[in-house]
Amino acid sequence: MSIALPPNSTIGIVGGGQLGRMSALAAARLGYRCHILTPERDSPASQVSAGTTFGDYEDPAALRAFAGRTDVITFEFENISAEGLDLLASLRPVRPSPSVLRISQYRLAEKRFLNRIGVPTAPWAAVDTLAELDTAVAHIGLPAVLKTTRLGYDGKGQALLREPGEVAAAFAELSPKPLILEGFIDFACEISVLVARGSDGTMSTFDTVENGHRDHILDITYAPARIPEQTAAAAQALARRVAEGLDLVGVLAVEMFVTADGRVLANEIAPRPHNSGHWTIDACPASQFEMHVRAVAGLPLLPAERHSDAVMKNLVGPEEMALWPEIVASPGLIPHHYGKTEARPGRKMGHVTRLFPRGGLPGAFGIAAALGSLAPAEPD
């Protein structure tokens, strides 16, 4: 275990979004100050932090000024360049390390890493040219998903290929190259696991949860996932293997598919707190954010046990934010507002958690009743 960061030290967070905001709130409870690096004025994280360096993630002067105001650095945003993070790491401890970011921000490196450590994924191939894509389609078959290898999130930068006639147009449209072709997984459900790992290698693994998406954006998380216990345990073991393989210090999310025959395949990893772990704020003694801060600050990790079952519903865009007055007036709905002033379509503005007694997660109609106007259109 590294030496614990004393209270009143400053944790630097690269990125000013809601993940930084909720990390800073957790850090404050442990007596730490947070200092944010973001180009954005009045960012969600800056609103609740001790200070902000306003600057571009690639500007060496801004990176140096930011590092100078911190004792240890982490990131809530993965689109900083690994070189930028290297510069920070030459000035202060950066947790997780830039080598972890190099893997998670590049889909090809991510898939290679996962398969190397024995974690199964969809079949995939790197494609740089249309001829390579034709060969990959011949091997993997259709349907398949063609994705950019960098900067993709919330379904941006990907195309579903159903027919051979769609291949060339999708290849022309997506950039930058190389791309990655993945076999389409006809999944029974999507799940994720958050695991925290300290610098001494200890780990705390949150329960496996189930995720429903709408328009490629996470809509709802069910904790725990409504899947057989052994599948949930296999997913947790897989997430721990990833954290160990990365020599992670911090929190990591692994998003996975469960196939109809019960296999668990990794889709994506994110070496930071994750939207599918927001339920832990209200349903666990130490949330994913507190666990992340603990790992980054060298404090002991706590058991990641939930005291309650939970459903987390994202509040996306102006339509769902219009329900805010109703939400804050509803007993039982725990509101979380990210402090963003403009509710653009597709923008994550906040979330709501509804708790149930442990082991008492109701069925689809019970959940719909508990969520009121926020219930998913088609309960699943």
Contact positions vs ligand AMP (CB under 6 A): 122, 145, 152, 155, 182, 184-185, 190, 213, 216, 255, 267-268
Least distance (Å) from ligand AMP to the CB of residue 172? 20
Q: What backbone phi and psi angles, to 5 degrees, belong to 344?
A: -80, 155
Least distance (Å) from ligand AMP to the CB of residue 187? 6
Rounded CA gap, 47 and 32, in Å? 15
> Cβ closer to ligand AMP: 203 or 254?
254
The radius of gyration of the chain's CA atoms, rounded to the nearest angstrom, is 20
Rounded CA gap, 248 and 241, in Å? 10
Least distance (Å) from ligand AMP to the CB of residue 213? 5
> Cβ closer to ligand AMP: 243 or 269?
269
> Cβ closer to ligand AMP: 268 or 290?
268
Least distance (Å) from ligand AMP to the CB of residue 185? 4
H helices present in 167-307, as ranges? 167-173, 229-246, 280-283, 288-297
> Cβ closer to ligand AMP: 49 or 211?
211
> Cβ closer to ligand AMP: 262 or 332?
262
Residue 110: how many other CB atoms lie within 10 Å: 22
**Residue matched to tokens 């249309």:** 130
Residues with Cβ within 8 Å of residue 132, at least 6 apart in sequence: 125, 126
Least distance (Å) from ligand AMP to the CB of residue 150? 12
What kind and span of H or E run contains 132? helix 130-140
